Amino acid sequence: MKVLGILGSPRIGGNSDILLDQALAGAREAGAEIEKIILSQKKISGCLDCGKCNETGVCVIKDDMGEIHSKILEADALIHSVPVYFWAMTSQMKAYLDRWCAFFDEQWSMQKAYRPKFNGKKIALITICGDSNISTADPIVHSFKNTSDFAGLTWVGVVQASAGSKGDISRNEAVKKKAFDLGKKAATP
């Protein structure tokens, strides 16, 4: 079982990062091999909507998304962790997600070649917002849940939490446990 953690916050050691590490620790405890990708340390351009990937399954943009694309295909579970920036996901996470375009054909069906790789693949989400009302992150949940359904993935669940300053979430034992359990669930067949 391979579990891939994808961090959409540029703040290393921040709240999304802390909860992602918790989730990956849960996955490791369940026996998974884990890997974390920090999107802000990668070069990922925005989708150009040139349509080439829908024909070939491969994006024309030669940046770090090619390697991430392969890691997504090989993973059994994906855990994304991202804070709310202006009522939406961060630009790093959005650029990454738009590049999922390459998994689909001209009819927006999963590319035939990728179907066996996506079959049974799980997806989970962690979101953080500064607002004390955690539903501030609902638009991000909507985006990932719909992407999950659209790609035929198995939705594991979401952990939504509130924290402002860097590392504040480390004092929230209840939410750390939820993230740990999410990772464990993602890694359990």
Ligand X SMILES: Cc1cc2nc3c(=O)[nH]c(=O)nc-3n(C[C@H](O)[C@H](O)[C@H](O)COP(=O)(O)O)c2cc1C
The site for ligand X (CB under 6 A) is made up of 9, 11, 14-17, 83-87, 128-131, 136, 163-164, 166
Nearer to ligand X, 90 or 148 (CB): 90
| Residue 77 dihedral angles phi and psi, to the nearest 5° | -145, 145
Whether 37 contacts 66, CB under 8 Å: no
Helix, strand, coil shares, percent, the chain, to 5: 45, 20, 30
In the complex, what is the shortest distance from the CB of residue 65 to ligand X, in angstroms, rounded to a whole number?
Answer: 21
Residue nearest ligand X by beta-carbon distance: 14
Q: Which two structure tokens, joined as six digits, stand for 23?
A: 């989730």
- Report the residue number, 123 or 129, with the smaller CB distance to ligand X: 129
- Residue 151's identity, in one-letter code, is A
Distance CA 26, CA 109 (A): 33
Least Å distance, CB 116 to ligand X, is: 34
- 39 vs 163, beta carbon nearer ligand X: 163
- Asked if residue 82 lies in contact with residue 9, where contact means CB atoms within 8 angstroms, the answer is yes
> How far is it, in rounded angstroms, from Cα 185 to Cα 17?
19
Smallest distance, ligand X to C-beta of residue 66, A:
26
Tokens of 60: 């024309």
Q: Select 40 or 147, whichever has its Cβ closest to ligand X.
A: 40
Min separation Cβ 181 and ligand X, Å = 19
**In whole angstroms, how close is the CB of 137 to ligand X at the nearest point?**
8
> Nearer to ligand X by C-beta: 57 or 139?
139
Residue with tokens 């069906």: 109
Cβ atoms of 100 and 114 closer than 8 Å: no
